[in-house]
Amino acid sequence: MNSGKLQKILFTRQLSDKHYDFGKKLGLSIEDYPFIEIEIKHLHDEEIRAIEQDRNASWIFTSKNAVQSLVDSLANLSDFTDRKCFAVGEKTAETLRNYNFEVIVPDSHNALSLVDRLANESANTSYFYFSGNMRRKTISNFFLENDIHYREVECYKTNLIQPDLDHLDFDAVCFCSPSAVLSFFSKYQLKEEIPCIAIGNTTAVKLLDYSENVAMSEKTNIYSMLEICNEYLNI
């Protein structure tokens, strides 16, 4: 229950000034400490040749980091805008659209929903799955179980970092990825009454390994997470 003081929120990723301003209007005091860092990889020549040669394959992205890797690696990216692209998450889809790709986005922003969508595609379709080093096996298992030809291309590396902070000084902790959850709880523990706010279903599922006090934002963006914090704490 709100005691009249500003509720202190920890975000385990870096926020923008607009996020801070929005949180302040809601009566929240925010601090951000990134718990992961992303290392974008340049694709190997052999991977680039395979992408260029298989003109009929569809492309799958679960992160805008993978899109950035492809942008940095393919000098002739504009020649591939006819590719059928699937994206998990609006940020990933938006990044692709900025480069003139048409994008199919599943109903829910998670790999399970994408797999449901892929099940409706032709069985003869092949895929390039552009991923990171800490991806879950949901998509690759779907391809293997259904004998669908695919190639997974690791486009970025997620490094776990644990900044020093007084984690017990916060009224809620917000997580934007399963890897941030893993990184945080590798160093810190929370009291049972401290809520953990997840940006989406995959992150929420990972949080349940460490806490029973988990809430999920209605939309997969920072503003929705801040609104959930406000509803959860300022009552």
Q: Domains of the chain: which residue ranges?
A: 7-35+162-233, 39-158
What CATH number has the domain spanning 39-158? Answer: 3.40.50.10090
Identify any residues that bridge with 153 across adjacent strands, giving them in sequence order.
130
pLDDT value at residue 36: 97
Cα-atom radius of gyration of the chain, to the nearest Å? 19
* 183's tokens: 């990184």
Q: What is the DSSP string of 181-201?
A: HHHHHTT----TTS-EEESSH
E strands in the chain:
7-11, 28-32, 36-40, 58-61, 85-87, 103-104, 127-132, 150-160, 172-175, 196-198, 214-216
Q: pLDDT tens digits, the chain, 235 residues: what are they?
A: 444 567 999 999 999 999 999 999 999 999 999 999 999 999 999 999 999 999 899 999 999 999 999 999 998 899 999 999 999 888 899 999 999 999 999 887 788 889 999 998 988 899 999 999 988 889 999 999 999 999 999 999 999 999 999 999 999 999 999 999 999 999 999 999 999 999 988 899 999 999 999 999 888 899 999 999 998 887 5
Length of the chain: 235
Q: Kindly report the CA angle at 71 between 70 and 76, in degrees rounded to 5?
A: 100
Do the beta carbons of residue 88 and residue 62 sit within 8 Å? yes
Distance CA 185, CA 149 (A): 37
What is the CATH number assigned to the segment(s) 7-35+162-233?
Answer: 3.40.50.10090
Same fold, 7-35+162-233 and 39-158: yes
- CA 182-183-187 angle, to 5 degrees, is 110
User: With 0-12 CB in 10 A as exposed, 13-18 as middle and 19+ as buried, what is 146?
Assistant: exposed
Q: Is 6 helix (H, G, I), strand (E, B) or coil?
A: coil
Q: What confidence tens digit (pLDDT) does each residue in 145-182 have?
A: 999 999 999 999 999 999 999 999 999 999 999 999 99
